[in-house]
Amino acid sequence: MIREEERAAEVATIRMLVDTCSTEHQAPDGTIKFRRGLVVDVDGRRLDARTARRWIKNRIAEPFAGGLHGETVTDQERTADPVDLDAQIAHLERLRDRARRVQQGLEPPVTRAPPSGWIDPSRPIGSHPYRDDEDELAGYALPDDAAEHLRAAGFVRVEQIEEASDEDLLEVPGVDPAALAALRSRRPRDERGRYLRRDD
């Protein structure tokens, strides 16, 4: 059985098992710090074979055939399942291919759409605070300014509008008698309780 210190002569790279420093050798980044997981070439210039054998014997490093000088391989990556690595490689390849298509103008980059509108965080939440944030004011034929003023005044739910008096609604800027009439006409819902579009 080949001992680990003898195996050091058979490999061209080692992998650090612990952090260590050496003023006599040069790490891949040009410093004296050899970090845990770092892969180092045993080339006789930056790191000599004698030191590599001593580090392997003292469990400071391990032989790591096929490693790339300067890369870091974590303990999880060292013992990773090949199937998991294949999945990660396939994922990265898809990202690379898409980045190339975007760079070539063949595919638009994904952009996050801004919020549909500002909502006052101090507004009343109504009697159903945990349901979906559906814009219930969209169910009425209201001018944009009237709808924004209603939201700012805290009228964001149908039940809030129904419970408010006509006088309260007319005090909101932009709400005139025509807007009030629209607010008093409920928009029909479908069988699942969602508001229907006007052209449905």
**124: Cβ–Cβ under 8 A, 6 or more apart, which residues?**
154, 156, 160
Question: Whole-angstrom Cα distance, residue 68 to residue 61?
Answer: 15
Q: Indicate the DSSP class of residue 178.
A: H
Q: Is residue 10 part of a domain?
A: yes
Classify burial at 26, counting beta carbons within 10 Å of its beta carbon; exposed 0-12, middle 13-18, buried 19 or more.
middle
In 3D, which of 161, 170, 145, 156 has the Cα closest to residue 119? 156
Tokens standing for residue 192: 């699942």
Q: Is residue 87 part of a domain?
A: no
Q: Is residue 42 part of a domain?
A: yes
* Other beta carbons within 10 Å of 56: 22
Give the bridge partners for 167, in sequence order. none
Q: pLDDT by residue for the chain (200 residues), tens digit each?
A: 445 444 444 558 899 999 998 888 888 888 888 999 999 988 877 788 888 899 999 999 999 887 788 888 888 888 888 888 888 898 999 889 988 988 888 887 765 554 445 555 565 555 444 444 567 777 777 888 888 888 888 888 887 888 888 888 888 888 888 888 888 776 555 566 554 544 44
Q: Which domain holds residue 54?
A: 4-76
Which residue, of 46, 76, 106, is where some domain finishes?
A: 76
Q: Is residue 140 part of a domain?
A: yes
For 76, phi then psi, to 5°, come to: -65, -40
| Total count of domains within the chain | 2
H/E stretch holding 166 reads: helix 166-170
Q: Are residues 62 and 122 in the same domain?
A: no
Q: Are residues 10 and 67 in the same domain?
A: yes
Which residue, of 76, 109, 133, is where some domain finishes?
A: 76
**132: Cβ–Cβ under 8 A, 6 or more apart, which residues?**
none
